[in-house]
Structure 1
């Protein structure tokens, strides 16, 4: 695991996670209310 902990491994995939979150928010906007 190259000396990375769970958070470090997750941060390596930050671009894929951000892309997923944007698509998810666009496809189901009712789940995300602006406070």
Structure 2
């Protein structure tokens, strides 16, 4: 669970500007890709 929170913080500011729902979806996809 902690690992999922780490990629979310590293996410670029562009995703942060987007809605929280999209941010979560991107963070999860980015975490798996990264």
Q: Same fold (TM over 0.5)?
A: no
**Bigger RCO (CA 8 Å, 6+ sep):** 2
TM-score normalised by structure 1 residue count? 0.41
Bigger Rg, structure 1 or 2: 1
Q: Which has the higher helix share?
A: 2
